[in-house]
Amino acid sequence: MAFYDWLLALHVLAAASLVAALTLFTVMILSSRHTDVPSRVARFWGLGRFGTVIVSVGTLGTLILGIWLAIDSDAYQVWDGWIIAAIVLWVIAAGAGQRSGVPFAKAGERARELVAAGNDAPDAELGALMGDSRAFLLHWVTVTATLAILVLMIYKPGA
């Protein structure tokens, strides 16, 4: 197996990790969107730390290995239009994803604190964090940009 094949395999594995993490976060967000009960939020957002590690590995792995693939390949250049478009979309997805995660991470932390204190009554602050429409929209920007990157990687327009 050639070095390029290893790079490609690792790049695809990183992309699969990224998609898996986004799927996990989407399920968590949709399942607890307007929930203000601490135990429900804590149950879902306990997985948030795991998802954060997986999304970080996938995000960095796709960028680093993707650029490395373009440099190593005779068929592609880093300045090819579809690669530049993918990098721009990567920046958009990473920025939106990081920003969308802030209120949800705060909600998970608040829920864990309330549960640890023995308080499982509905909490207005928790409900506001989980219902944050800006965070919800930014999550979907992340998902959409990531799907657009996948389309670029599959079809390689102009290559």
pLDDT tens figures, 9-47: 999 999 999 999 999 999 999 998 889 999 999 988 878
Instruction: Give the distance, in angstroms, between the CA of residue 133 and the centroid of all CA atoms in the same chain.
Output: 17
Distance (Å, rounded) from C-alpha 136 to C-alpha 141? 9
Where does residue 37 fall: left (phi above 0), alpha (psi -120 to 50 degrees), or beta otherwise? beta
Distance (Å, rounded) from C-alpha 59 to C-alpha 103? 20
Q: What pLDDT does 34 receive?
A: 86
**Is residue 34 packed enough to be buried (19+ CB in 10 Å), middle (13-18) or exposed (0-12)?**
exposed
Q: What pLDDT does 118 receive?
A: 95
Q: Could you tell me the sign of the dihedral formed by the alpha carbons of 50, 130, 97, 14, in that order?
A: positive
Distance (Å, rounded) from C-alpha 89 to C-alpha 83? 10
pLDDT at residue 159 above 80?
A: no
Question: What domain range is 117 assigned to?
Answer: 3-155
In the chain, the number of structural domains is 1
Distance (Å, rounded) from C-alpha 78 to C-alpha 108? 39
In this prediction, residues 81-96 reach a mean pLDDT of 96
